[in-house]
Structure formats: structure tokens, C-alpha cells
Chain A
Amino acid sequence: MAGSQPPVGVFALQGDVREHLAVLTALGADARPVRRPEELEQVAGLVIPGGESSVMDKLSRLFGLRDPLQQRIAAGMPVYGTCAGLIMLAERLQDGIAGQQTLGGLDIVARRNAFGTQSDSFETDLHIPALGDPPVHAVFIRAPVVEAVGDQVAVLARLEGGDIVAVEQGALLATAFHPEIAHEDRFHRRFLEHVAARA
């Protein structure tokens, strides 16, 4: 990527922030952790990492990030969410904890922790037409699934049983799995292309 691209951020109040920063940096992006509203103002796109969505929700409200994040998403900022990040981007959430809110943006219904306990977490290969070959090696860790999608949402990937695990709507991209811990950078490239297209 060209060095002239605007900086991008990784939501850094909780989760696997370091892994996302490493993938973005390796792709040549100027990637920075975002913890405060002032830091959000400096970036042209944001990755929301894996972590605990209930904790991210609380912390984003506690540190005043929730409102500016929602405004930026509404204004078209590209965002890529993995796992908990997918949950944060969902307009509607099934089985959140009491009072749990999402940021919204993606016209989907997400269900948290859809596969069972940690022992049910798994790795598998997914053929994703939008990304071409080779298949994506996908790591699902206490992962959510997308239960339903609106008309404007493109389904990028499903599991064999039909569960939707990757979606895109405009500049918003989300996966239920974790490319950042599997040496897979095509989703991050796609996110950076969204950022470049809006620069």
C-alpha cells in the first residue's frame, strides 16, 4: 500500500489489538490503536478486533467512544469487525447480556457464542468466492453467527451447514472468524481498499 494513505485505527480498549495492528502494518498501513475520541478523529477507517463484545460495549460507553463511533459509521467510515467486532457492528443482537448495546451499521442479526463452549471452537477452510483462491483458513473462537441479513447485505461466506460467517454492506465488513491469527490478510486488504476508495 502507498505510504500516502491516511492512517487507520484498531479499537484498542480490549481484545486482540496487537494481532490486527501487525497485519495492517505488514500491509504497509499506518495503523494505530484507538482508545479515545481524539484518536478516532485521526483515522480514516477502523478495525474492531476479537474480544468480549459485552466488555467492548461497556468500555466504549465509559470512555466516550460510542457516540463518535456511531457518527463515523453513519458517515460512511470503513470498518472491519472480527468476532466481537462483528457483534458490535450488528444492528440487532440475540442473547446479549442485560443492557448490552451494539454500534450497529450492518443490517444483520447476530447471535453470540453460537457454537457452544471453548472445546467446540474450531478451525476450518472456507471457500470464499469474493476472495478467490486459495481457501480462507478460518479460526472460530467462541464465535458468533449471522442469523439474518437485510437486502443490502452481501453474504461473503457460509459454513457447510449454511451458517453465515462473513458479510459486507458498503464499507462495512465483518467476519465471525479471526484472519488475524491465521496468517490471512485478504480481509484486511479489502478493508484498506475501502479506506483508499474513500480517501
Chain B
Amino acid sequence: MTEKTQGTSRVKRGLADMLKGGVIMDVVTAEQARIAEDAGAVAVMALERVPADIRAQGGVARMSDPDLIDAIRAAVSIPVMAKARIGHFVEAQVLQSLGVDYIDESEVLSPADYVNHIDKWPFTVPFVCGATNLGEALRRITEGAAMIRSKGEAGTGDVSEATKHIRTILGEIRALSAQSPDEWYVAAKELQAPYELVAEVAQSGTLPVVLFTAGGVATPADAALMMQLGADGVFVGSGIFKSGNPEARAAAIVKATAAFTDPAAIADASRGLGEAMVGINVADLPTPHRLAERGW
């Protein structure tokens, strides 16, 4: 028999494949992690403050305390993700050593490098990265991202940016698929991505990695909207634990994500959930406070 190989692209991208159709929930305590798991989360994102609080409190947002991540890992058996700052490869090294299952190189935290993202290939742990358009997604995949999430505008409860970003990424893939091969060279130039990857997407009509969506999802109908638009799954950040009844809302979003084509099931999931998170209209956010513009 032969030896085992770890940290391959297939293994990294494969875990994201297994998360498809699921909901990944932000949690800030072990108790919240248990609530998320009980509600049917497919994974949890361990962090110190949900995006709505990062937005409200300001300051520099960084990787979570290892004790918090350990406590959350001990509380659940589903995969645990954690966030590193854009370009902060040492935070990523630390998270890998803590045994997290996925690292989110996230614009929700304050960037550590305004030029370079993390070179993700040397890590055995897989990375998910945010993107607002196809070129950005392909640049992250080139750096080794094994999963992409459209960014949306985290911590707002306003789903409009998530809609814009998933529509943009999938629309650009459709447009690329319609091009003839002699147009792919210029497409690569315009997307600012390697020709080989552009050609692969043009031929397959899909990203080579799983595409989730994030940033502003607050209701079961929001989650089903993302799924009908073509997302493989949904991240919910502040939308659950900043709402009136997190247990019920978490379970309802899981149900609506699984039954995303069934309006009666979505209606049923939407009943009696109490207050949704208050929310901020993205249009009212001054440009420097828009997280989606971090990363390039």
C-alpha cells in the first residue's frame, strides 16, 4: 500500500464540496457554537466579535484569542473555521497550528497587508477568501484559495451587496463561457487573472472551487435568494446572534437554504422568528466603512 498525502488541492477543495447546501454561522462563544450545531449549521466561524459589533465598535479587528478558538473547537464536532487578516500569514500559521478546519482570509478583519494576500499553497489547512467579482475570485484561487465566498457587506443585515456580488461573479462566468477561445487572452488581461485559469472557467462554465455567499444575509428568504441566484451555500454572520431569537432563526435559515426552491417551506420557516437584526442600509454607509472594498 502507498503512503498518505495531506493538504492536497483535492482534499482542501473537497471539504468545501461537502459543505454545499449548508449554512456556516458566525459564533463568538462555545455556547453559541453549540446552538449553531443544534440548529443544523454545517460549520461554524469562530470569531471574537460579529461584523455588526466590529462595525459599531471600530478599531483594529484581528484574529481571535486561541483560547476562544480552542473552546469552540471543544464544543462542537462540525468543522470550525476562523478568520485571519488579509495578508497576515502568521495569524494563518497560528490558526493552522490550533487545528481549525478552514481559514477565512477575511476583509471583515483589518487588513495586515494592503498589497499582498497570503500565499495559501504552503498550508495544509484550506482557505476561503472573499470576492466581489470574477477577477478577484480567480486571483484568490491563483494564490491557493480552496473556496470562494462572495463578500456582500458584512454586519449590515442589508442583502443588496451580497446580491450584487453573487450576480456579478456568476454573470461574468456566463459572459466568459460565451466567448470564443481567441478572446480568452484579452479576457485574462481584463480579469487580471492567469490565462490557464480563465480558459478553465470559460470551458467548464463554473469556478474550479465551491462558491458560497456572505455579507448581509439576515432572514430565511435572504438565504433562499442567494441559493436561487446560484450560490452553493450561505455564510450568516451577525444575522443570527444579533436577532431576537437566535435558536429559531438559525434553524429557519438552515431549513430555507435546503428548501430554497419551495416558497411554502420558506414561508413556514419565516414564521414567528421575532426581531431580525436591526440592520444598516449599505447606501447610508460612507465609503471608508465599506468592508467589501478591502481586498483586491
Which residues of A does B touch, CB under 8 Å?
12-19, 35, 50-52, 54-55, 58-59, 62-63, 83-84, 95, 97-98, 112-113, 116-127, 135, 139-142, 159-160, 178, 181-182
Question: B15 at interface (Cβ–Cβ under 8 A)?
Answer: yes
Which residues 51-89 of B have a CB within 8 angstroms of A? Answer: 76-79
Are A13 and B21 closer than 8 Å at their CB atoms? yes
Chain A to chain B contacts (Cβ below 8 Å), 16 pairs? A14-B42, A15-B20, A16-B17, A18-B20, A50-B18, A55-B22, A63-B265, A84-B18, A113-B77, A119-B125, A120-B6, A122-B11, A123-B5, A123-B10, A126-B1, A141-B15
Partner of A181 from the list B17, B37, B38, B102 (CB cut-off 8 Å) is B17
Which residues 1-25 of B have a CB within 8 angstroms of A? Answer: 1-8, 10-12, 14-15, 17-22
A142: chain B residues at CB < 8 Å are 15, 18, 79, 101
A59-B40, A122-B6, A141-B15 as given contacts; A13 in contact with B99, CB under 8 Å: no
Partner of A118 from the list B21, B41, B126 (CB cut-off 8 Å) is B126
Are A139 and B14 closer than 8 Å at their CB atoms? yes
Are B99 and A119 closer than 8 Å at their CB atoms? yes
Are A52 and B22 closer than 8 Å at their CB atoms? yes
Question: B255 at interface (Cβ–Cβ under 8 A)?
Answer: yes
A124: chain B residues at CB < 8 Å are 1-5
Size of the B side of the interface (Cβ < 8 Å), in residues, is 42
Are A125 and B2 closer than 8 Å at their CB atoms? yes
Secondary structure type dominating chain B contacts: loop
Are B4 and A51 closer than 8 Å at their CB atoms? no
Partner of B259 from the list A19, A35, A113 (CB cut-off 8 Å) is A35
Are B1 and A160 closer than 8 Å at their CB atoms? yes
What sequence of 0s and 1s flags, for each residue 114-146 of chain B, a beta carbon within 8 Å of any chain A beta carbon? 000000000011100000000000000000000
Are A97 and B37 closer than 8 Å at their CB atoms? yes
Are B258 and A141 closer than 8 Å at their CB atoms? no
A113: chain B residues at CB < 8 Å are 77
Partner of A83 from the list B18, B41, B42 (CB cut-off 8 Å) is B18
The distance in angstroms between the C-alpha atoms of A106 and B78, with both chains bound, is 23
Minimum distance in angstroms from A125 CB to a CB of chain B: 5
The distance in angstroms between the C-alpha atoms of A140 and B6, with both chains bound, is 10
Nearest B residue to A58 via CB reads B40
Are B21 and A17 closer than 8 Å at their CB atoms? yes
The distance in angstroms between the C-alpha atoms of A113 and B99, with both chains bound, is 13
Are B20 and A17 closer than 8 Å at their CB atoms? yes
A50: chain B residues at CB < 8 Å are 14, 17-18
Nearest A residue to B97 via CB reads A119
- 8 closest cross-chain pairs (CB), A and B: A118-B101, A122-B4, A14-B21, A117-B99, A16-B17, A119-B124, A58-B40, A125-B2
B43: chain A residues at CB < 8 Å are 52
Question: B162 at interface (Cβ–Cβ under 8 A)?
Answer: no
Nearest B residue to A116 via CB reads B99
Question: B96 at interface (Cβ–Cβ under 8 A)?
Answer: yes
The distance in angstroms between the C-alpha atoms of A54 and B258, with both chains bound, is 14
Question: B154 at interface (Cβ–Cβ under 8 A)?
Answer: no
Are B11 and A121 closer than 8 Å at their CB atoms? yes
Minimum distance in angstroms from A135 CB to a CB of chain B: 8
A14-B22, A112-B77, A141-B18 as given contacts; A181 in contact with B10, CB under 8 Å: yes
Are A182 and B10 closer than 8 Å at their CB atoms? yes
Nearest A residue to B73 via CB reads A117
Minimum distance in angstroms from B132 CB to a CB of chain A: 25
The distance in angstroms between the C-alpha atoms of A17 and B20, with both chains bound, is 8
Which residues 189-208 of B have a CB within 8 angstroms of A? Answer: none
A15-B21, A51-B18, A118-B79 as given contacts; A141 in contact with B11, CB under 8 Å: yes
Minimum distance in angstroms from B97 CB to a CB of chain A: 9
Nearest B residue to A113 via CB reads B77
The distance in angstroms between the C-alpha atoms of A178 and B77, with both chains bound, is 20
Minimum distance in angstroms from B296 CB to a CB of chain A: 27
B226: chain A residues at CB < 8 Å are none
The distance in angstroms between the C-alpha atoms of A120 and B96, with both chains bound, is 11
